[in-house]
Chains A and B, each alone.
Chain A
Amino acid sequence: MKKGYFLTIFLISLFAWADDDHHKSHTMEMEAHSHEGHKHEVMVDGRKLEVDPDRFDKFVDGQKNFHVAVISVNGMVCDFCARGIEKTFKKDKSVQKIDVDLSRGKVLVLYSLSAKIEFEDIKQKILSNGQNATDLQVISI
């Protein structure tokens, strides 16, 4: 069981490394389990996942086999102004769910596993609402 876990982490690490090199977009992946009490706070590369753990767990509660994009956004200071972000992402058929965390400047997007998540595309979607996406972390659940 332990071997399988570490092998999974290792493979994901390799994938994340390759993905980062290819896109140069600060995109990383981590394996996120839904064990009770498990807090998704640290990425496989040791970077801190700056998302509210409770909010994240609530967001992914009951969800399996999805990608979660955690997008850092600059300029997202107002609920009324952030409405367009939700509307823009919901036009994408591979997006199942979206959550906006104003206090941390994060947008959580639940993608289907088959979705191709490109940071450039996400940056354009955020920019179309007048804000700037500065970072992307992709988590597989």
Chain B
Amino acid sequence: MGMLKKFFCSLFLISSIEARPISYSGGSTLMSISDNLKDSTYYHYSPTYKYSIGVEQVKDKFFDKKFTYLRLTYLLNRKNTKNSQRNLYFQSALSTDNLNDNFYGMHGDWETRRLFSGFGYKKVINNFRDFAEQYFQLGIAPYQGNYGDFHTWILMKTRKNSLVGDWKTYPVLKFFKGDFLFEIGYDSDVDWDVHLMYRF
């Protein structure tokens, strides 16, 4: 049961930080995520807008252990229009502790200044039990701020983990201004999910 919690928690963290997987060319991103079970710090660098490489440090509060992942995200497809952007990404990661612990998957999003939708699928392979996760996300911006303003998004996220078996749906609020982003979600099972991001 402990291991299941560990895997579920790791998966939850991984899914949450996929919102901005690649920066602009030469850009770096620092992320921090915290909930009742885990603290995570993830840094990634984007040599081009096509891919990012990064390191994620996860502190497991439940087992009082630390894990380190090497991550790669690649932009498979992007469609820019005047009023929207659509993305499709491939992602992968290897644990530095054990190369048999890894994951791969795809996720995508489509957004306008008013609407956001996203999905993701991930297959996690490890020494204990392989599992998969999928999620969908829908959001709306209650107002359309100008460049440099304080921006707000209201989202609903629903996810299914093959280890747990049922869908979880919970609200997420996202705020950003300048290079800072703050996201907070709540679910009775996973408790508070707090996400900070700084891009430079």
Contact = CB atoms under 8 A, between A and B. Distances in A.
Contacts, number: 76
Interface in A98-115: 99-103, 105
Interface stretch (A11-19, A37-45, A71-79): A71-79
Contacts of A5: none
Nearest to A104: B82
A131 B24 CA distance: 10
A77 B24 contact: no
Contacts of B178: 83
A132 B111 CA distance: 16
A104 to B, nearest CB: 9
Nearest to A128: B25
Interface size range on A against B:
20 to 34
| Chain B interface main SS type | loop
Interface residues of B, number: 33
B105 interface: no
| Chain A interface main SS type | mixed
Given A75-B81, A75-B85, A132-B80, A80 B113 contact: no
Interface of B: 20, 22-27, 48-49, 75, 78, 80-85, 111-113, 144-149, 151, 176-179, 181, 199
Given A79-B177, A88-B24, A130-B78, 4 more contacts: A75-B85, A78-B113, A80-B151, A128-B48
